Amino acid sequence: MPHDRINWQRIRVGCRYVEKYLVEGLLSAYKFNHSPLKPLEVFCEITYKCNLKCPTCFRWTTVEDRDELGLEDWKAAISKLEKWVGTFNLFVSGGEPFLRDDMIEIIKFASGLGITVSVVSNGSLIDKTLAKRIVSSGLFGLTLSLNSMNPKTHNETRGTAGSFDEVMRAIENLRERGKMRLNIAATVMAENINDLVGLAEFVKKEGLDSINYQPLMPASAIPILDEKGNPKKLPPGKFYQTLGREPEAVKEVFTRLKRMRENGYPINNMPKHMAYMVRYLQNQEDPEVVKYPCKIGPKNFVIDPFGNVRICPMMEPIGNIRDDLPQAFWNSDKALEQRENIRGCKEPCRLFTCNFKELDLWYQLKKMYMRG
């Protein structure tokens, strides 16, 4: 593996993970239901505004809100976290993050503090100029959402004509990307189940770094807020209602994807996650799926566009990063009570990849070697 592919920042976070999280953390966290740890992964929902109209997600219905954190607020929030936590992984999502004029500034600021920053985007705004700015911002990884290599299916599931061409243009514009990782995220539903293999083939052929399959959730799993700041009640969405339509295809496709992963395709999902996805996509009420616990309690730290911090995106905020120090509410009574509720929660977002993050050393080593 060439020296420049070694990301020391990543390795430092990894070592902290083993030391703090696995060894001293999990046991005490589950036993005492508090987290003596500090979050290693922080998710920023940087804006709820969006320029696509995906029928699986209602973020695009958000109205303009002047109360969103500004550039200086985000810098202050990131600094507070860095002082408390040290280095960590910062995942930026939305809405569409690149609708913010200051997105590049935010990435530069966090990367400059030694934080590993990743962004997920719909790719629509990444022209040549923005691509260059992204690559030189210090961003660790960019994930573009792509649901199918069939333009019609992608555009329909993104609610926007021309979206497929825009993602392809973004990938082309990011051909020269130095050390930055470029990944694909595909949301799995009945409508694209037969396109998943083609997506993995595309990722490998184009030399992209990985593909992650995320099972479709009811739209309420990507909450937006009502006027009072509470999560809005959302209908599940029409594509969600067709889940379970193709049980045999689901099994066949994931058996193939598992084999492709074994043969060096850069598919992120662990085999265990794939097995649970198959059950879920065939039948959301599958008893094995229902039993699988949500493990986010001791580790999740989600900041919404207004600075509210949550452990679970669907629960009440435990504090606001604008007003408070994160260490003041991380182990507050409210946080402890929510961690108790999280352990018994049966909402389907337990099936998101972040709830299946386990060490898969063999696969990671093989991936590094093949990329080498």
Ligand X SMILES: C[S@@+](CC[C@H](N)C(=O)[O-])C[C@H]1O[C@@H](n2cnc3c(N)ncnc32)[C@H](O)[C@@H]1O
Residue ranges binding ligand SF4 (CB under 6 A): 50, 52, 54, 57, 59-60, 94-96, 122, 294, 296, 312, 314, 342, 345, 347, 349-350
Closest distance to ligand X from the beta carbon of 82 (Å)? 24
Report the nearest approach of ligand SF4 to the CB of residue 189 (Å): 12
Q: Which partner from the list ligand SF4, ligand X, none does 342 bind, CB cut-off 5 to 8 Å by kind?
A: ligand SF4
Which residue's CB is nearer to ligand SF4, number 261 or number 299? 299
DSSP sequence for 31-54? HHSS--S--SEEEEE-----SS--
Q: Which two tokens stand for residue 171?
A: 């990938």
Phi-psi region of 315 (alpha: psi -120 to 50; beta: other; left: phi over 0): beta
CB of 287 to ligand SF4, least distance (A): 17
DSSP characters over 145-191: E---SSHHHHHHHHT-TTHHHHHHHHHHHTSS-TT-EEEEEEEE-GG
Cα–Cα distances in angstroms (integers) from residue 260 to residues 8, 148, 207, 253, 256, in the given order: 29, 17, 15, 10, 6
Max Cα–Cα distance, the chain, nearest Å: 52
Q: How far is the CB of 170 from ligand X (least distance, A)?
A: 11
Residue 274 in tokens: 């794939």
Please list the residues that pair with 183 across neighbouring strands.
143, 210
314 binds, among ligand SF4, ligand X, none (CB under 5 to 8 A by kind): ligand SF4
Which one, 149 or 314, has the nearer CB to ligand SF4? 314
| Residue 207: partners with Cβ closer than 8 Å, 6 or more residues away | none
Q: CB–CB of 195/146 below 8 Å?
A: no
Query: Based on CB atoms, which residue is closest to ligand SF4, 113 or 217?
Result: 217
**Shortest Cβ 292–ligand SF4 spacing (Å):** 9
Which one, 341 or 364, has the nearer CB to ligand SF4? Answer: 341
Nearer to ligand SF4, 122 or 282 (CB): 122
3-state secondary structure of 193: helix
Nearer to ligand SF4, 138 or 300 (CB): 300
**Measured between alpha carbons, how far is 14 from 357 in angstroms, rounded to an integer?**
13
Query: Among ligand SF4, ligand X, none, what does residue 180 contact (CB within 5–8 Å per kind)?
Result: none
Q: Please choose which of ligand SF4, ligand X, none residue 40 contacts, taking the beta carbon within 5 to 8 angstroms, the exact cut-off set by kind.
A: none
Q: Report in angstroms how near the CB of residue 316 gets to ligand X at its nearest.
A: 21
Which residues of this chain interact with ligand X, rule CB under 6 A?
A: 50, 54, 56-57, 59, 93-96, 120-122, 145, 185, 187, 214, 216-217, 219, 221-222
In the complex with ligand SF4, the residue whose CB is nearer, 95 or 307, is 95
Question: Minimal distance in Å, beta carbon 159 to ligand SF4?
Answer: 7
Residues 42 and 106: their CA atoms lie apart, in Å, by: 14
